[in-house]
Every structure is written in structure tokens, then in C-alpha cells.
Amino acid sequence: MSRSNTVIGILAGAAIGAAVGILFAPDKGEKTRKKIKDGFDNQKDELQNKFNQLSDQVKSKFSKAKVDLESGFDELVANAQDTKEDVIAALEKKLSDLKAQAAAANKK
């Protein structure tokens, strides 16, 4: 028998033992059913709280990633704008130099 089957067997036995213990407890049936219902309600609430916490964590991480992405995109656009202006300035200077060379060649 593998280790996981042993663990599953122990857990199943514990659950069955707990259920049998509750059902044969000296309390009235109504009290026992209320205890069972309250236990399920508590577990449901706890599970809902854990789900909400996990959901908040995921939303927070995605929100941070979105802000990082937007910031990176804005930086990329700003760098592209600076690069574009540098290229235009270099081309204008080169054009000016070429016009000066052409004018000098025409004078000779």
C-alpha cells in the first residue's frame, strides 16, 4: 500500500469516526444537527474568507504588474520621442552640410 493511500485511509477513518461520534453523542438530535450545521457554516465562512484573501492578493499583483507595464510603456514612448528628435536633428544637420558642400562645388 502506498503512502498516499495510507494517508487517505487514515483521514477517511478519522472523518467517519468523527461523524459516528457526533451522531451517537448524548446530545439530542436537534442539538447534534445544529452543531453539524454550525460546523459546516464555520468552514464555509472560513473558506470564503480564504478565497477573498487570495482574490485580493491576485488582484493586487495584477494591478502592480499593470502599473509596471504602463510605466515601462510610457518610458519607452518617451525614449522613442527623444530618439526621433535626435535623428531628425542629425538629418537636418547632414542636409545643411550637404547644401553647403553643393553650394561650394557650384561656386568653383
- Is the pLDDT at 13 greater than 70? The verdict is yes
Residues 51 and 37 in one domain: no
Residues 52 and 1 in one domain: no
Give pTM, 2 decimals.
Answer: 0.41
Helix-then-strand count for the chain, H and E: 2, 0
Residues 34 and 4 in one domain: yes
Each residue's pLDDT tens digit, 58-92: 888 888 888 888 888 888 887 887 788 888 888 88
Average pLDDT of span 13-29: 74
| Gap between the Cα atoms of 61 and 81, Å rounded | 30
Cell of 92: 537636418
Residues 48 and 88 in one domain: yes
Each residue's pLDDT tens digit, 31-52: 777 777 777 788 888 888 888 8
Structurally, how many domains does the chain consist of?
A: 2
Residues 60 and 29 in one domain: no
> What domain range is 6 assigned to?
1-41
Residues 36 and 52 in one domain: no
State whether the Cα torsion 42-47-51-56 is positive or negative. Answer: positive
- Is the pLDDT at 1 greater than 60? The verdict is no
Residues 57 and 94 in one domain: yes
Residues 60 and 72 in one domain: yes
- Is the pLDDT at 57 greater than 80? The verdict is yes
